[in-house]
Structure 1
Amino acid sequence: MLRMMRRLLIAVAHGDDETLGAGGTIAKLADDGVRISLCVLTNDDGSRSESGLNVTPRASSIERAAKILGIERVTIHTYGDNRLDTVGHLELNRVFEREVRDFEPDTLFTTSMSDLSLDHQIVSRAARVAGRPGRGSVREIRCFEVRSATDCGEASGLPTFRPNCWQPLDSSHIERKLEALRAYGDEVEAWPNPRSERGVRALAEYRGSQVTTDYAEAFELLRAVL
């Protein structure tokens, strides 16, 4: 018998990681009555400006996307975009440990160690520390793929993203995912960029074809206690 998910914590470095990686699944789980909390470590795109002055705040976009997907609780921190490697690991571990303690999730979603983005790797490591056995309520941990980060990792010598868990979705979940992605404005690129709407839909179709369904999102299931 499969364990029923009740409370999901999503741990990410950047606003839009949650939508690109698991937006359709989040929408489905919210519809199914799962309570969902999102913790984002950065709140702008500061790494895109050489001076660090012309940055775009993302807090309002994160909150709009969360509302579209059905996320009820959002925590946004102000660490530097693409500068998480300048923060002590213990500090970041404690951020997610506090989230686990306060929200008491039974399930944790985060980014993959296969991602080219160092921020994503750091978040994945810290989230796994917070969700380790015997230290909290987490019984299941999944890592998701983020277009243009996960699909560039292998060419850089990182481990390949190897999904072993698929969530079938219907068209309404994919439309919600795309609507949430639009909340991030310029983060949506033009085709054939993998972050384009067509690229996002194409990945959902491909992952669906792997399990003979119209659409799906794929995950690396790291641990599941039934």
Structure 2
Amino acid sequence: MENLAHLGKTLVVAPHPDDEVLGCGGTIARLADAGQEVHVAVVTRGYEPAFSDEQVERVRAELVEAHDVLGVTKCHFLDLPAAALDTLPGAQLNHAIGKLVGDIAPATMFLPFVGDIHRDHQLVFTAGLVAARPRGGDVPRRIYAYETLSETNWAAPGLTETFAPNTYFDVSETMERKLEAFSRFDSQIKAFPDERSLKTIASLAAVRGSTVYLPAAEAFMLIREIS
């Protein structure tokens, strides 16, 4: 299995903590093993009254542990309101993600899929594409959309955008680290048959892997590549 050094410095944009692990955890670990910088942007945080400060701090502590397992270089918190991005002016979200992309200058970006049922995911995808517009030489060379269990597959097939992967990354050697990383989210993990269970996460990787004759894979939609 080749390493993923050719992807270069990478930015994974996550609407909420744990989205990046569900969608890209095995790939993040491979990038880290290849010596590449991997940045994660968590776009939102919970605010009162929907989310207590205690809840927020607990999830962020879990995230730090999960990122240590995967080898994330740095996590950036944008602190926009969770489950309420649609209440903000579009320019505010575009500016927050655009500034981060400008500061990090990633060669590769991973974004949530535009067809996810969660509105935050849809808006983050669009803002990510705005930030990555090729209006100069220093732009992301590759953009992928990742799938998020309990968000990507709960939309209305045939009526909304369908996740149709065309790129697969082998995570056979990093799958256990992905599972270990998600297990650190004690506040989020569920018992099977809930989709956010370790068994379901492993099962999806097995299905995606079997599609391309691998023991385990993460699947993505390649949005754009500049070669």
TM-score (norm 1): 0.92
Q: Could you tell me whether the CA contact under 8 Å between 1:116 and 1:158 is conserved in 2?
A: no
Q: Which residue in 2 is equivalent to 1:206? A: 207
Comparing 82-91 with 152-161, which one deviates more in the overlay?
152-161
Residues 1:167 and 2:165 aligned together? no
Shift of 1:157: 2.9
Q: Could you tell me whether the CA contact under 8 Å between 1:114 and 1:154 is conserved in 2?
A: no
Q: In structure 1, the residue corresponding to 2:139 is in which secondary structure?
A: coil
* CA distance in structure 1 between the aligned counterparts of 2:35 and 2:163, rounded to whole angstroms: 29
Residues 1:130 and 2:128 aligned together? no
Deviations 1:154-207 (A, max 9, x none): 35932110100000121x411111111122112111101111000000000000
* Aligned sequence identity (%): 33
Comparing 65-74 with 117-126, which one deviates more in the overlay?
65-74
Residues 1:147 and 2:149 aligned together? yes
Q: Which residue in 1 is equivalent to 2:93? A: 92
| Distance 1:99-1:53 versus aligned 2 partners, 3 A rule | closer
Q: Which residue in 2 is equivalent to 1:184? A: 185
Amino acid at match of 2:12: I
Amino acid at match of 1:142: Y
Q: Which residue in 2 is equivalent to 1:70? A: 71
Q: In structure 2, the residue corresponding to 1:114 is in which secondary structure?
A: coil
Q: Could you tell me whether the CA contact under 8 Å between 2:5 and 2:31 is conserved in 1?
A: no
Shift of 1:110: 0.9
Amino acid at match of 1:91: Q
Q: Equivalent of 2:27, from 19, 25, 40?
A: 25
Q: Could you tell me whether the CA contact under 8 Å between 2:5 and 2:36 is conserved in 1?
A: no
* CA distance in structure 1 between the aligned counterparts of 2:162 and 2:51, rounded to whole angstroms: 36
Shift of 1:112: 0.3
Q: In structure 1, the residue corresponding to 2:6 is in which secondary structure?
A: coil
Aligned length: 220
Q: Equivalent of 1:36, from 26, 38, 42?
A: 38
Residues 1:106 and 2:103 aligned together? no
* CA distance in structure 1 between the aligned counterparts of 2:99 and 2:184, rounded to whole angstroms: 28
* CA distance in structure 2 between the aligned counterparts of 1:156 and 1:183, rounded to whole angstroms: 35
Deviations 1:79-136 (A, max 9, x none): 2211111111111111111111111101000100110010000111101110111244
| Distance 1:222-1:52 versus aligned 2 partners, 3 A rule | same
* CA distance in structure 1 between the aligned counterparts of 2:132 and 2:64, rounded to whole angstroms: 24
Shift of 1:61: 2.0
| Distance 1:69-1:3 versus aligned 2 partners, 3 A rule | closer
- Name stretches of at least 5 consecutive residues in structure 2 with no aligned partner: none
Amino acid at match of 2:165: P
Shift of 1:59: 2.2
| Distance 1:85-1:194 versus aligned 2 partners, 3 A rule | same
Q: Could you tell me whether the CA contact under 8 Å between 1:116 and 1:156 is conserved in 2?
A: no
Shift of 1:143: 0.4
Deviations 1:9-59 (A, max 9, x none): 111110000000110111111101111111111233x5xx8x425461122
Q: Could you tell me whether the CA contact under 8 Å between 2:109 and 2:140 is conserved in 1?
A: yes
* CA distance in structure 1 between the aligned counterparts of 2:38 and 2:18, rounded to whole angstroms: 16
Shift of 1:210: 0.3
- Name stretches of at least 5 consecutive residues in structure 1 with no aligned partner: none
Q: In structure 2, the residue corresponding to 1:132 is in which secondary structure?
A: coil
